[in-house]
Amino acid sequence: MLKVVKAPLVELEWSPELERAALDHLGDIGPRGTLSHSGSDKSTYRDRIERYCRWGGSIFEAIDYGARDAARDVVIAWLVDDGVPKRQHRNNLLGPDQRHIALAYGRHSVASFCTIALFAAQVVPLDFVPQLMPGMIDEEALKK
């Protein structure tokens, strides 16, 4: 049964931090021919994401193996989610919380090609330092 999407999906924002995590995994599994969300170092997509950023809400990884004629075909494969009983890719792609995305695409020694997508609700670079606006701190209270 198809899940009804009640609200329009938001436009996704590209994340350089998620891109680095996706490229790490592609560089690991591509030459080895591994068909897995786990890295050769036993890292999970969460581990790889946390190398480059903090995240909030939810995160997920979608992987497609094999050659496709167009990027659209990869997205269709994730939406159809053939052979995945709980349709996790579809449910995650259509989830209302995702705001950030990155993809890595390249050679795979077993499947010819591989596309890795990472999604997150919130992404904060590790080197982010919040800037306080004037008036946000009660200077007098700090002196007491």
Question: Could you tell me the pLDDT band of residue 111, with boundaries at 50, 70 and 90?
Answer: very high
Give percent helix, percent strand, percent coil of the chain, each to the nearest 5.
Answer: 30, 25, 45
In 3D space, the residue among 15, 21, 29, 27 whose CA is nearest the CA of residue 51 turns out to be: 21
- pLDDT-based confidence at residue 2 (cuts at 50, 70, 90): low
* Predicted local confidence at residue 55, as pLDDT: 95
The pLDDT of residue 64 is 94
Closest by Cα among 18, 19, 5 to 58: 18
Beta-ladder partners of 131: none
Helix (H, G, I), strand (E, B) or coil at 21: helix
Residue 133 has pLDDT above 90, yes or no: no
